[in-house]
């Protein structure tokens, strides 16, 4: 029974996608209701499933499909991912009914939205890596249609980058999986961890390939290129799930690779730790300069992913004390999904009304929109990690894990890491302040509280729910943490962790980072980026002129590789073709070789020339040799004659010879 | 005792004479050398036959080396009969060629022609006599090149084309034969047939697949050389374009040597008990039957008289494979008898046709009314054709009769229909030539009696061959008994 439910959880969105499409062709209103019901049913189903899963992990094996059989497993570790996915999808679906109204291709949007839900859930509940890969690829393709939904030049450009990187990443991941299967013979995640230990250095290659594959989705630094392009391009609910959930699929993959399959290997963990810091600082730093609100949020997602990667690194580094890092990672995954979706939905409302997300244009828009202002503020404060909001909880745990690592290893690098952590947090404060001040505090005579009628309840409702959750978790973190106790078991240890969140020691780093953030805001953003021309405030973005990883590195490199390899393959191709043509023409020459009638037995002179030409390059001869046998006007007798003449030729006689030999051998063997 | 050396001596005489020919200046001298060496071989072979008749078959050690190291010749009744047949037919053909060679072959090539014939016959005798697989392979290669040589000697465009085809297919066949030897050698470690045979009797259960593959390789490799039906494709071109003396040699002797080699391999290397467990014989039976019918059908479709006879060879080779395929001793005996009868008949036919073509043309329509102009030649042709069709007394009938008996012996009654149908088809293409030659007012109009007839001395060799046909027909009992006895 339980495993049937598991299958239903997987299939419900996929089936609903089809039904939604069919309904949508008839009646859009019914389709919207159906979508809300479908995602709601999914959420309810998963929520009700909690009792079963919390007692015992549910798994399901369906043999003979998807190559190796479909092996699904839902334990508490996965449950958290699945639940947050279903929850976010439910809210964004409600939001979409308002947001997407003015767009074209609504039907397509909903179908792919639900398909993406199905495949994302598939990723989270796959126990078999090959299943996971399949769902991962499905998700990449279905979400592509969400990215290019606007179908304008910018979104196609972004979609191109997105799909190219997704495919490249997918192929690298597949390579990793091939190697993995080759060396371990196992594809089930829990089995691999046992085999992996005994593997030599090849396991680093394997895990590196897998991490690169997942890293594209998780926007690890050199692979983040698609993210700041795709997020602004997609419709707001889609960017919300891209940022809130789809990044987490990559994180999920990395988490199972580093912490479960590799048992928190110390080298890999250190690399992830460093990458996490790079991501955090880089994302935060670049976010400071952006003017498009959605792009700021996109870079923010990258920065927050850095926090999670850093946590993953800490899981390995802390070894037996790792439960604190696990809590931090899981909490931050959960919290980031909540607050980032909230922020994207908030920005989405602005974009929905003005069709513009540039901070220079929408400046002062939210000054008189009270509800929007409040929910956005809640989201922003949460990201900043202000006490009382959920971001504070996870950041505090991560910070505490970092301190513990500092305590254990006690070297200069961890001191630097702590400083970097504070700087990263202060970046967060600065860029969010930039948005908030510009959009919600600045005065702009264009926007005096009009457009309020555009903000419908169904758009605000999800945001209010999310805000409530943020505050609830922020105040009572232990409710959710008690749920997470079982999550830790997936990493092979038991135990839980307690800390007094609301103490002065925990407030101190927050206060430092907020102060530092304010400093950065006033010096860098107000001081350098804000220009006042003709009494109009305008932000500038100097980072536009900086080196672009995509345009200046990836594209030239790929293009060069492509050109070089195409030259090489072209050469090889020509070589093979020429060799084959030489052989063919050699046989042909042998077949219809022309001899002079008379005393001398030499080959005709002209023919000899041709002979040479054949073996050099024989295109000219090909045309010449194109015998004009008019089959059309020949009757049956002629055809028989033709066949007989052909049968008489040397080539055919050799063919017949070979055939007879084959027949002989076959008959004898049978 | 001295007769034991004769088989090797014949081969040596022929080879040495062929090597002398290039240094002889006078055209007459090397012609004489050729006929004398061939005649001497006939005499030597006959004396060996007499020796064997009284003292039985023997192994001859070349250079007095014992078997596994030295090369052995095995001379039995069958071998010596075939040896006599080959040398006899070859000497008659050479005799005949003295009168026709100038018209058919460029003058400066004549010397090489006789050289090649000597080498060819020597290597064919080598194939027949040798008891060593690799030695046989060497002789097979030599004979292949020599037979290609006597086809291409005419130096015409179509000759070269036909020879190329013949050469390529023959070499493929030789390659397979060599591979077959390699397989056998790898499991037995011997090249001497007797030793291989003894070795195989012990180990053949272990190496079923190897034996199977080598059997297939031998069969196809020799099959292509002896024009087994679907592999006959080279034959019509090669035989019809060659000089008629070459055609006579090729069709009468070369094909037979290879098919005899196949019989030797099946019988003496593998032994019938082993071979019968695989389906090689069934395949030979089926391909033989198809060849018997389609060879004739294809012959009917031809317009060129020499191609008709060439395709007739395909059909006749079909009989021989058919006889092997029956898988009983009578079938094998009669196959060997058919080798003899067909060798005599086909050489007669080719020579007769050759002399007719000299006077008229190469198409069937040119031969109308030839019976009035060349009654004796057409008469000889008629006897040969009658033998092919299977008119009693003539050896063709004898072989067909015994083939039928062997078929009944092997209880494969359906195949009787094939024999009958094939005889009928033979009649369909031979009789019109004879009827149009002798009868029909339109055909005979304007033809002068005996106007193109050749002098008796030129006809003599063909006449001797005809007498040979009739003699073989009459004394069939003795020959068949001798073969049968030697087989067992």
**CB nearest A653 (choices: B157, B169, B278):** B169
Q: How confident is the model at residue A622 (pLDDT cuts 50, 70, 90)?
A: very low
Asked if the Cβ–Cβ distance from A599 to B219 is below 8 Å, we say: no
The average pLDDT across B133-156 equals 91
Q: B212 vs A653: CB contact, 8 Å cut-off?
A: no
CA distance B267 to B260: 10
**pLDDT of B137 higher than 90:** yes
- CB of B126 within 8 A of CB of B135? yes
Question: How would residue B327 be classed by pLDDT, with cut points 50, 70 and 90?
Answer: confident
Quick one: pLDDT at residue A495?
65
pLDDT in tens, A519-545: 888 888 777 777 777 667 777 777 777
Contact B279 A668 (CB under 8 A): yes
How far is the C-alpha of B304 from the C-alpha of B216, rounded, in Å? 34
Residue in chain A closest to B279 (alpha carbons) equals A668
Calpha distance B469→B343 (Å, rounded): 9
Most confident range, picked from A99-113, A190-204, B40-54: B40-54
Work out the pLDDT band at B128, boundaries 50, 70, 90.
very high
Which residues of chain A make contact with B216, given a CB cutoff of 8 A? Answer: 661, 664-665, 668
Q: How much of chain A, in percent, has pLDDT values that exceed 70?
A: 89
A593: confidence class by pLDDT, cuts 50, 70, 90: low
Taking the C-alpha atoms of residue B384 and residue B470, their distance in angstroms, rounded to an integer, is: 10
Alpha-carbon distance of A345 to A235, in angstroms, equals 10
Q: Given this model, what pLDDT does residue A635 score? A: 65
Confidence of residue A647 (pLDDT cuts 50, 70, 90): low
Whether B121 and B253 have beta carbons less than 8 Å apart is answered as yes
Q: State how far the alpha carbon of A83 is from the alpha carbons of A50, A336, A475, in Å.
A: 9, 14, 21
Separation CA B458–CA B373 (nearest Å): 16
The whole-number pLDDT of residue B145 equals: 92
Residue A458: predicted pLDDT:
79
State the smallest CA–CA distance between residue B343 and chain A in angstroms: 25
Task: Tell me which of A178-187, A295-304, B338-347, B421-430 is least confident.
Answer: A178-187
Q: Give mean pLDDT, residues A647-652.
A: 72
The minimal CB distance from A664 to the residues B155, B156, B220 is found for: B220
Which of these, A55, A115, A113, A54, lies nearest to A83 by C-alpha position? A54
Which chain A residues are within 8 Å of B166, Cβ to Cβ? none
pLDDT at B136: 93
Look at residue A428 and tell me whether its pLDDT is greater than 70. yes
> CA B219 → CA A545, B262, B276, B288, distances in Å?
81, 7, 14, 12
Q: Contacts of residue A597 in chain B, CB cutoff 8 Å?
A: 156-157
Q: Is the pLDDT of residue A632 over 80?
A: no
Residues of chain A with pLDDT > 90, as a percent, come to 9
pTM: 0.56
Give B280's contacts in chain A (Cβ within 8 Å): 668
Of A64-68, A128-132, A268-272, B198-202, the poorest mean pLDDT is in A64-68
pLDDT at position B462 over 80: yes
Interface test with A, best of B149, B164, B165 (most A CBs within 10 A): B165
d(CA A268, CA A405): 16
Q: How far apart are CA A224 and CA A216, in angstroms?
A: 6
Which residues in chain B are closer than 8 Å to A661, comparing Cβ atoms? 176, 216-217, 220
Torsions phi, psi for A369 (to 5 deg): -95, 95
Our CA-based measurement puts residue B473 at a distance from the nearest CA of chain A, in whole angstroms, of 36
DSSP 8-state assignment for residue B192 = B
Task: Indicate whether A571 pLDDT > 60.
Answer: yes
**Three state DSSP letters for B117-141:** HHHHHHHHHHHHHECEHHHHHHHHH
| A152 pLDDT more than 80 | yes
Asked if pLDDT for residue A504 goes beyond 70, the answer is: yes
Residue A501 has pLDDT above 80, yes or no: no
**Between B264 and B367, whose confidence is greater?**
B264
Q: Mind telling me how many Å the CA of B65 is from chain A's nearest CA?
A: 37
C-alpha distances (whole Å) from A133 to each of A9, A84, A171, A187, A597 are 18, 21, 10, 11, 71
- pLDDT category at A128 given cuts 50, 70, 90 is confident
- Segments making up each domain of chain A, as ranges: 264-485+503-516, 635-670
Maximum pairwise Cα distance, chain B = 73
pLDDT tier for residue A592 given thresholds of 50, 70 and 90: low
Closest-approach residue (CA) in chain A for B221: A661
Position with higher pLDDT, B168 vs A369: B168
Give the whole-angstrom CA distance, residue B142 versus residue B123.
Answer: 6
CA distance B488 to chain A (A): 27
pLDDT the model gives residue A494: 67
- A607 pLDDT above the threshold of 70: no
- A631 falls in which pLDDT band (50, 70, 90)? very low
Q: Please state, rounded to an integer, the average pLDDT across all residues of chain B.
A: 89
Q: With bands split at pLDDT 50, 70 and 90, how would you rate the model's confidence at A628? A: very low
The H-or-E segment that residue B395 falls in is: helix B395-409
Task: Please state the rounded mean pLDDT for residues A619-627.
Answer: 46
Q: Which helix (H) or strand (E) holds A439?
A: none
Closest chain A residue to B107, measured at CA? A599
- Which of A601, A644, A650, A670 best tests the B interface by mutation, with the highest count of B CBs <10 A? A650
**A443-455 pLDDT per residue, tens:** 777 776 666 677 7
Q: Reduced to 3 states, what is the DSSP secondary structure of residue B303? A: coil
For residue A540, give the H/E element and its range: none
Provide the shortest C-alpha distance from residue A633 to chain B (in Å).
23
* Predicted local distance difference test score (pLDDT) of residue A636: 67
pLDDT for res A603: 46
CB-closest option in A656, A665, A669 to B230: A656
A94-108, A125-139, A151-165, B237-251: least confident range: A94-108
Question: Average of pLDDT values for A367-383?
Answer: 86
Distances (CA, A) of A206 to A174, A212, A226, A446: 10, 10, 24, 56
Contact by Cβ (8 Å): B253, B189: no
In this model, does residue A623 exceed pLDDT 50? no
Is the pLDDT score of A64 beyond 80?
A: no
Q: Which of B106, B160, B233 has its CB closest to that of A653?
A: B233
Q: Is residue A481's pLDDT more than 90? A: no
Q: DSSP letter string over B260-290?
A: HHHHHIIIIII-HHHHTTSSHHHHHHHHHHH
Closest residue in B to A670 (Cα) is B279
A533: helix, strand or coil:
strand
- From first CA to last CA, the distance across chain A in angstroms is 51
Judging contacts by C-beta atoms under 8 Å, the chain B residues touching residue A664 are: 216, 219-220, 283
Instruction: Indicate whether A600 pLDDT > 60.
Output: no
Give the Cα separation of B398 and B404 in Å (integer).
Answer: 10
Q: How far apart are CA B33 and CA B246, in angstroms?
A: 18
Closest residue in B to A640 (Cα) is: B301
pLDDT at B467: 92
Between A552 and B469, residue with greater pLDDT: B469
Chain B residues in contact with A648 (beta carbon < 8 A) = 233, 237
Per-residue pLDDT at B110: 87
Cα distance between residue A267 and residue A203, in whole Å: 12
Residue B206 has a pLDDT of: 86
Q: Are B231 and A652 a contacting pair at CB < 8 A?
A: no
Taking only the tens place, the pLDDT of each residue in B399-447 is 999 999 999 988 888 888 899 899 889 888 888 888 888 887 777 777 7
User: A58-62 and A70-74 as β-strands: parallel, antiparallel, unpaired?
Assistant: antiparallel
- By CA distance, what is A593's nearest residue in B? B161
In total, the C-beta contacts within 8 angstroms joining chain A to chain B are 67
In this structure, the number of other CB atoms found within 10 A of the CB of residue A612 comes to 9
Q: pLDDT per residue over B218-237, tens digit each?
A: 999 999 999 888 888 888 88
Q: Check residue A601 and give its pLDDT.
A: 45
Residues of B within an 8 Å Cβ radius of A:
106, 155-157, 160-161, 164-165, 168-169, 172, 176, 209, 212-213, 215-217, 219-220, 223-224, 230-231, 233-234, 237, 278-280, 283
What average pLDDT score do residues A343-360 get? 84
Per-residue confidence band for A594, with pLDDT thresholds at 50, 70 and 90: low
Residue-level pLDDT at A625: 46
Place of tokens 């077949």: A591
Chain A interface mutation, best of B216, B290, B325, highest count of A Cβ atoms under 10 Å: B216
User: Which of chain A's residues have a Cβ under 8 Å away from the Cβ of B106?
Assistant: 599
| For residues A237-246, average pLDDT | 88
Q: Which residue has the higher pLDDT, A476 or A628?
A: A476
Distance between B216 CA and the closest CA of chain A, angstroms: 6
Helix A28-55 vs helix A106-125: angle between axes, to the nearest 10 degrees?
10
Among candidates A660, A665, A667 on the partner chain, residue whose Cβ is nearest the Cβ of B213: A665
CA distance A591 to A608: 15
Question: Which whole-number Å values give the CA distances from B321 to A7, A620, B226, B316, B340, in the listed order?
Answer: 68, 48, 10, 9, 14
Which pLDDT score, from 0 to 100, does residue A620 have? 45
Task: Provide the shortest C-alpha distance from residue B314 to chain A (in Å).
Answer: 15
Contact A656 B157 (CB under 8 A): no
Span B368-377, pLDDT tens digits: 888 888 888 8
pLDDT at B139: 94
User: Closest Cα to residue A649, out of A607, A591, A583?
Assistant: A591
Query: Of A48-52, A645-649, B332-336, B390-394, where does the model show the most confidence?
Result: B332-336
Min distance A620 CA to chain B CA atoms (Å): 25
Locate tokens 């190219």: which residue?
A: A164
Residue A627: per-residue pLDDT = 46
- Output the CA–CA distances (angstroms, integers) from residue A663 to A239, A656, A659, B171, in the order listed: 65, 10, 6, 20
Quote the pLDDT of residue B258.
93
Residues A272, A253: Cα–Cα separation, whole Å: 13
Q: Give me the mean pLDDT over the A638-665 stretch.
A: 77
Give residue for tokens 């259960």.
Answer: B205
Interface contact B165-A593, CB threshold 8 A:
no
Does residue A358 sit in helix, strand or coil? strand
Rounded CA-CA distance B326/B409 in Å is 9
Chain B: nearest CA to A579, how far in angstroms? 22
Contact B233 A656 (CB under 8 A): yes
Alpha-carbon separation of residue B463 from A375, B352, B360 (angstroms): 123, 10, 21
């Amino acid at each position: 029974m339980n495993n049937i439910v598991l299958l239903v959880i997987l299939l419900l969105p996929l089936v609903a996608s089809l039904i939604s499409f069919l309904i949508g062709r008839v009646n859009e209103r019914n389709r919207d209701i159906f979508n809300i019901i479908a995602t709601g049913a999914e959420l309810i189903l998963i929520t009700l499933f909690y009792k079963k899963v919390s007692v015992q992990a549910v798994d399901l094996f369906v043999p003979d499909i998807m190559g190796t059989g479909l092996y699904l497993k839902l334990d508490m570790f996965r449950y958290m991912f699945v639940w947050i996915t279903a929850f976010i999808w439910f809210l964004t679906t409600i939001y979409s009914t308002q947001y997407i109204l003015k767009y074209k291709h609504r039907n397509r949007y909903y179908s792919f939205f639900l398909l993406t839900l199905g495949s994302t859930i598939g990723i989270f509940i796959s126990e078999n890596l090959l299943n996971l890969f399949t769902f991962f690829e499905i998700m990449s393709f279905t979400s592509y249609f969400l990215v290019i939904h606007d179908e304008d030049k910018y979104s196609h450009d972004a979609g191109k980058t997105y799909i190219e990187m997704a495919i490249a990443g997918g192929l690298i991941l597949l390579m990793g999986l091939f190697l993995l299967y080759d060396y371990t013979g196992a594809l089930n995640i829990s089995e691999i961890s046992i085999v992996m230990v005994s593997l030599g250095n090849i396991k680093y290659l394997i895990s590196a390939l897998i991490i690169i594959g997942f890293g594209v989705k998780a926007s690890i630094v050199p692979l983040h290129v698609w993210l700041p392009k795709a997020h602004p391009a997609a419709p707001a609910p889609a960017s919300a799930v891209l940022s809130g959930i789809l990044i987490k699929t990559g994180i999920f993959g990395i988490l199972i690779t580093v912490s479960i399959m590799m048992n928190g290997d110390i080298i890999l963990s250190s690399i992830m730790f460093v990458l996490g810091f790079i991501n955090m600082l880089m994302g935060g730093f670049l976010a400071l300069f952006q003017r498009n609100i959605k792009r700021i949020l996109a870079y923010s997602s990258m920065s927050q992913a850095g926090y999670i990667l850093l946590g993953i690194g800490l899981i390995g580094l802390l070894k037996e004390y790792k439960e604190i890092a696990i809590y931090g990672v899981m909490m931050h995954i959960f919290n980031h999904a909540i607050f980032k979706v909230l922020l994207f939905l908030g920005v989405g409302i602005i974009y929905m009304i003005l069709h513009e997300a540039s901070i220079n244009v929408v400046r002062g828009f939210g000054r008189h929109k009270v509800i929007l202002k409040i929910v956005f503020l809640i989201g922003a404060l949460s990201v900043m990690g202000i006490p009382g909001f959920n971001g504070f909880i996870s950041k505090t745990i991560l910070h505490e894990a970092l301190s513990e690592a500092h305590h254990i290893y006690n070297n200069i690098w961890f001191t630097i890491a702590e400083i970097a952590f504070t700087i990263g947090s202060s970046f967060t404060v600065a860029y969010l302040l930039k948005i908030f001040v510009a959009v919600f505090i600045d005065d702009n005579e264009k926007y005096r509280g009009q457009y309020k009628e555009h903000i419908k309840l169904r758009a605000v409702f999800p945001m209010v729910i999310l805000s409530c959750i943020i505050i609830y978790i922020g105040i009572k973190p232990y409710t959710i943490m008690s749920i997470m106790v079982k999550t830790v078991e997936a990493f092979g240890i038991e135990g839980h962790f307690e800390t007094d969140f609301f103490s002065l020691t925990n407030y101190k780093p927050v206060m430092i980072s907020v102060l530092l953030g304010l400093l950065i805001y006033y010096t860098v953003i107000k001081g350098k980026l804000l220009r006042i021309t003709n009494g109009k405030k305008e932000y500038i973005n100097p980072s536009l002129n900086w080196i672009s990883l995509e345009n200046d590195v990836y594209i030239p490199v790929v293009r060069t590789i492509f050109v070089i390899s195409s030259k090489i393959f072209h050469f090889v191709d020509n070589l093979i073709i020429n060799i084959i043509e030489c052989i063919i023409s050699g046989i042909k020459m042998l077949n219809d070789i022309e001899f002079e009638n008379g005393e001398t037995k030499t080959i005709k002179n002209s023919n000899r020339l041709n002979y040479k030409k054949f073996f050099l390059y024989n295109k000219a001869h090909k045309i010449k040799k194109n015998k004009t046998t008019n089959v059309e006007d020949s009757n049956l007798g002629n055809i028989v004659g033709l066949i007989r003449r052909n049968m008489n030729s040397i080539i055919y006689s050799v063919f017949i010879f070979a055939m007879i030999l084959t027949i002989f051998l076959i008959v004898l063997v049978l | 005792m001295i007769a034991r050396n004769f088989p090797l001596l014949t081969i040596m005489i022929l080879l040495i004479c062929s090597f002398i020919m290039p240094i002889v200046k006078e055209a007459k001298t090397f012609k004489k050398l050729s006929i004398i060496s061939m005649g001497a071989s006939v005499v030597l072979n006959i004396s060996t036959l007499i020796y064997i008749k009284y003292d039985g078959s023997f192994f001859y050690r070349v250079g007095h080396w014992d078997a596994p190291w030295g090369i052995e010749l095995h001379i039995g009744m069958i071998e010596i009969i075939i040896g006599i047949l080959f040398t006899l037919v070859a000497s008659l053909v050479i005799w005949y060629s003295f009168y026709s060679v100038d018209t058919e072959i460029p003058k400066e090539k004549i010397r090489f022609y006789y050289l090649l014939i000597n080498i060819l016959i020597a290597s064919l005798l080598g194939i027949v006599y040798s008891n060593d697989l690799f030695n046989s392979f060497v002789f097979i290669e030599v004979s292949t090149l020599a037979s290609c040589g006597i086809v291409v000697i005419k130096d015409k465009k179509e000759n070269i084309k036909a020879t190329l085809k013949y050469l390529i297919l023959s070499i493929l066949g030789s390659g397979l034969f060599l591979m077959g030897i390699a397989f056998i050698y790898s499991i037995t470690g011997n090249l001497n047939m007797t030793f291989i045979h003894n070795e195989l009797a012990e180990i053949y259960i272990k190496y079923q697949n190897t034996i199977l593959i080598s059997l297939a390789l031998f069969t196809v490799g020799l099959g292509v050389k002896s024009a087994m039906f679907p592999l006959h494709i080279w034959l019509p071109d090669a035989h019809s374009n060659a000089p008629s003396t070459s055609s006579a040699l090729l069709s009468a002797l070369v094909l037979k040597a290879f098919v005899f080699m196949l019989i030797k391999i099946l019988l003496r290397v593998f032994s019938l008990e082993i071979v019968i467990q695989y389906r090689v014989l069934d395949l030979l039976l089926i391909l033989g039957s198809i060849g018997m019918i389609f060879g004739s059908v294809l012959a009917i479709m031809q317009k060129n008289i020499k191609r008709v006879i060439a395709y007739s060879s395909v059909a006749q080779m079909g009989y021989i494979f058919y006889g092997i395929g029956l898988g009983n001793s009578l079938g094998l005996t009669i196959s060997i008898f058919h080798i003899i009868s067909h060798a005599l008949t086909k050489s007669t036919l080719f020579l007769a046709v050759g002399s007719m073509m000299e006077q008229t043309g190469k198409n069937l329509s040119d031969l109308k009314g030839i019976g009035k102009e060349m009654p004796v030649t057409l008469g000889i042709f008629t006897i040969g054709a009658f033998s092919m069709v299977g008119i009693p007394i003539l050896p063709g009938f004898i072989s067909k009769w015994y083939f039928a008996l062997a078929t009944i012996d092997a209880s494969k009654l359906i195949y009787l229909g094939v024999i009958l149908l094939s005889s009928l088809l033979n009649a369909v293409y031979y009789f019109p030539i004879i009827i149009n030659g002798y009868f029909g007012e339109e055909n005979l109009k304007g033809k002068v009696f005996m106007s193109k007839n050749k002098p008796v001395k030129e006809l003599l060799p063909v006449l001797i061959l005809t007498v040979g046909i009739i003699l073989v027909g009459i004394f069939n009992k003795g020959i068949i008994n001798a073969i049968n006895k030697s087989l067992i």
